[in-house]
Structure 1
């Protein structure tokens, strides 16, 4: 015969487990159910983005291409693709998957949120730019159209993200990038960097390591099948064509080419004088405001005051005040060096 106390304990434990599992909205069962729903939405949006970027580059993907590009089981990918076809987001043509109008609109909404988030991260936070893409990849699935509109208004309705990619409007309109990959130009070309592609990540990280910035002028010195040599802000860069292909430039006309020799403040040597001509567009948010507050403004004379044993940081004499900043910040300040004869005449 079963002990009544034991039966009562078993009953109590069973009821407790049922409560934990099925408590309305907060039980484990409902949490897991919602997670599957979110995962399905995320997977659809990730596939839509891949299809959009492929079509935007004049290519089309098939089921195998998508399976190979996602960290999902082939079965789940095929199930998701079938669901997308049922919802009339996509269609099949000769084995290729193409976006329907509904799928194109949906893809542009996801891309809009992604690029707005990258703009937000660059302007309003202290996150390093190498982390923007990964954070935006997660946040793009969390905002609806109303929240995206509020974010855009908060940012001043920007037209481009920090990489130079156009941000789709609320109506799905998107501006073209009026430039070509750097390797498309001949030796001697002078242009302005207007876009840096952030995928694939391994190439993007190489570009970040070179400290190349949107808005910088480039002068192509040498170009062949193995390397491209160019000057930017008076520094020399050597890139493999496959890396340089992720940099888009717009060729400058003669009247757009400045006569000034632009340098980075980090390159200023002791006993040299210079005049600040601007702060790089790559310098945003709190760092930009801090540099301006410290007095690093246009037409201000500047020279090296003190150098630490490791040469980082260095102190610069700005308006009779010695201000120490690290080289990582000094590279954002653009200068024109003052020649000796100019010094003596002033």
Structure 2
């Protein structure tokens, strides 16, 4: 890795540790950046020589924190940009932003923030530093810290390592998902959401941070995914998952997939996907991955 990128990745990691109230170590830095311990030692010497780190500690100096927050902001804004405007799957956002963050100047970051409406959080729920370098208080606990039967709202999903994040993504869990911990044991956790049940290893559940519901909020057990609708059954559209973004979201909205629309499953491909749904007088073919991201409530017939 180029020296500049290595320094920036290290600063970003140390800033993340500070926000998470987690103590950093040479071993953690080496694992995070995939470098040897000799390389870690040289890197730390460079960071301290540049006065980005305090002597004999892992604390960032004022200049080091300012530089680190610039990189953090560039990364998280670019992930937000990809989520809103590109056709890239969510599994690639982090990787692409990891490269792009090094090219964005402070003026680029300022302009990108303005274009996006100064978002406070990226698609995974990570806070985006303000222009003054401020970060909101960290809220919630990982699902492992809650008991069976607990109901709450997801506010953050850790997107690394990728193999754990991919399991969460495939389940359609996003920030703002409301779920119930149906069961848990020493190795696994079972989650219920949107009419579906998922069983995860505890290491996956530990990647999800959630908070309790606000006063008056409940888990609406009547809300399901369109993919559960059988042929001939009708339902009212409740909304779409936050995973439906960009051009795909605009297309579905144009087709009439908006809250209150009544739809009926009419035709099914022999392979199971796509399925034809009657929406505002037209039969629209939707792929299974699309129907899993559309929220409905069944209509009595």
Same fold by TM-score greater than 0.5: yes
Compute the displacement of 1:75 (Å).
4.4
Q: Which residue of 2 aligns with 1:130?
A: 91
Deviation sequence 1:290-345 (CA, Å, 0-9, x none) = 00001111111111011011110000011221111111111111000113xxx3xx
8 Å CA contact retained: 1:122, 1:132: yes
Matched, 1:58 2:12: no
Return the alpha-carbon distance in structure 1 between the equivalents of residues 157 and 219 of structure 2. Answer: 23
Question: Among 12, 27, 32, which residue is 1:49 paired with?
Answer: 12
Measured on the aligned residues, the alpha-carbon RMSD in Å equals 1.8
TM-score normalised by the chain length of structure 2: 0.94
Aligned length: 301
Q: Which residue of 1 aligns with 2:101?
A: 140
Q: Which residue of 1 aligns with 2:47?
A: 84
Return the alpha-carbon distance in structure 1 between the equivalents of residues 23 and 214 of structure 2. Answer: 36
Deviation sequence 1:86-137 (CA, Å, 0-9, x none) = 12110244xx422122211211110000000000001011111100000000
8 Å CA contact retained: 1:165, 1:177: no
Name the SS of the counterpart of 1:176 in structure 2: coil
Deviation sequence 1:239-278 (CA, Å, 0-9, x none) = 1221101111121145111555111111111121110111
Q: Which residue of 2 aligns with 1:278?
A: 239
Q: Do the aligned partners of residues 275 and 61 (structure 1) sit closer, same or farther apart at CA in structure 2, a change above 3 Å counting? A: same
Q: Which residue of 2 aligns with 1:27?
A: none
Question: Among 204, 208, 212, which residue is 2:169 paired with?
Answer: 208
Return the alpha-carbon distance in structure 1 between the equivalents of residues 227 and 44 of structure 2. Answer: 51
Question: Among 217, 225, 232, which residue is 1:264 paired with?
Answer: 225
More helix by proportion, 1 or 2?
Answer: 1
Name whichever of 276-285 and 136-145 sits farther off. 276-285
Q: Which residue of 2 aligns with 1:338?
A: 299
Asked which structure has the greater CA Rg, the reply is 1
- 1:1-346 to 2 correspondences below 5 Å: 39-72=2-35, 74-93=37-56, 96-253=57-214, 255-257=216-218, 259=220, 261-339=222-300, 343=301
Compute the displacement of 1:60 (Å).
2.4
Name whichever of 112-121 and 217-226 sits farther off. 217-226
Name the SS of the counterpart of 1:204 in structure 2: helix
Name whichever of 316-325 and 64-73 sits farther off. 64-73
Compute the displacement of 1:40 (Å).
2.1
